[in-house]
Structure 1
């Protein structure tokens, strides 16, 4: 999981956390994180066992290889190498000025400021890495009922932009928050 299969693996510092590629050894932590009922209701992908975890990791690897999806495990450097969260960038076709960013934090790690730090590091990386692709805006989308994601978005520099009407697979309206290359709207 790196930018260049023949080059170095991409890791990003985020305060006391490190964003790094997902590894096969992360499967137990991934399965445990997805046992959280809140994650199961807020995320489209589901990880229930080793086979679905392997598929989840394979999709992320394929995203890196195609340049369309960049997913990072968030690791607390002071507490070992087990992931405590995930941040991802869905990069659109070249020439598009926006991309979508997403995240989740494992239940035991919530409330420690992980998501804002990780989203900040990923956003900075995205704007630097895709500057030539004219990337000017990152969007963070969540369900209206997810008030915690609203707080995370605001702490991360993603200003509220609009309400998005419900559409499959989401049963309720959503919020779109945006961060511009300059950091504000």
Structure 2
């Protein structure tokens, strides 16, 4: 049987740390659950309860145990968990992996997402030697597009009706970063 993935702790610029999920991150899940968008695009439970938050954290552990990806908590320079970035390995056999990220509203606008994304992308390209990294952004989400571009991801094109979000299929813009 394959061993679980080891989600490392990664140091990022500005005192930001990326680390595995723990049950102490339930306050982060609670804040994310109050966001208008995060629960639509993730499995963050909304409304929040501890009985729903604990399985969310356990699902993050399961991604490493099941070897499907590396889920990281983004911790700011003050030690507060403020978001997540994940490296997903579904297509790693074809030489590509995907990334996703979110930061809670109270921590946005500080470049934290870009720093975290850059750190995981560098690790994936240079340590794990994954040749191609992809991420998708909804066309209206200019802040997320700026984050991807700031890290060096290049816009490749519009994927029409690509993803189910909430009750509808939505277009996504594909971004990629090559080794």
Does residue 180 in structure 1 map to residue 178 in structure 2?
yes
Q: CA deviation at 1:46?
A: 2.9
Does residue 148 in structure 1 map to residue 146 in structure 2?
no
Give the secondary-structure state (helix, strand or coil) at the position aligned to 2:133: strand
The alignment's TM-score, normalised by the length of structure 2, stands at 0.87
Q: For 2:127 and 2:159, how far apart are their aligned partners in 1?
A: 28
Q: For 1:10 and 1:89, how far apart are their aligned partners in 2?
A: 12
Q: 1:30 to 1:46 in 2, by over 3 A?
A: closer
Q: CA deviation at 1:168?
A: 4.7
More strand by share: 2
- Alignment deviations for residues 69-110 of structure 1 (CA, whole Å, 9 cap, x no partner): 111000013x12x31110001112553211100100110100
Q: For 2:22 and 2:170, how far apart are their aligned partners in 1?
A: 34
Q: 1:166 to 1:44 in 2, by over 3 A?
A: farther
RMSD: 1.7
Q: Gaps spanning 5+ residues in structure 1: where?
A: none
**Contact 1:87 1:119 survives alignment (8 Å):** yes
**Contact 2:91 2:97 survives alignment (8 Å):** no
**Contact 1:86 1:105 survives alignment (8 Å):** yes
**Which residue of structure 1 lines up, in the alignment, with residue 30 of structure 2?**
31
Q: Gaps spanning 5+ residues in structure 2: where?
A: none
- Alignment deviations for residues 18-76 of structure 1 (CA, whole Å, 9 cap, x no partner): 001111011122111221113234x1323222122111111111111122111100001
Q: For 1:60 and 1:96, how far apart are their aligned partners in 2?
A: 23
**Contact 1:159 1:178 survives alignment (8 Å):** yes
**Contact 1:138 1:179 survives alignment (8 Å):** yes
The alignment's TM-score, normalised by the length of structure 1, stands at 0.85
**Contact 1:144 1:172 survives alignment (8 Å):** no
Q: For 1:128 and 1:23, how far apart are their aligned partners in 2?
A: 27
Q: For 2:173 and 2:146, how far apart are their aligned partners in 1?
A: 12
Q: For 1:3 and 1:104, how far apart are their aligned partners in 2?
A: 22
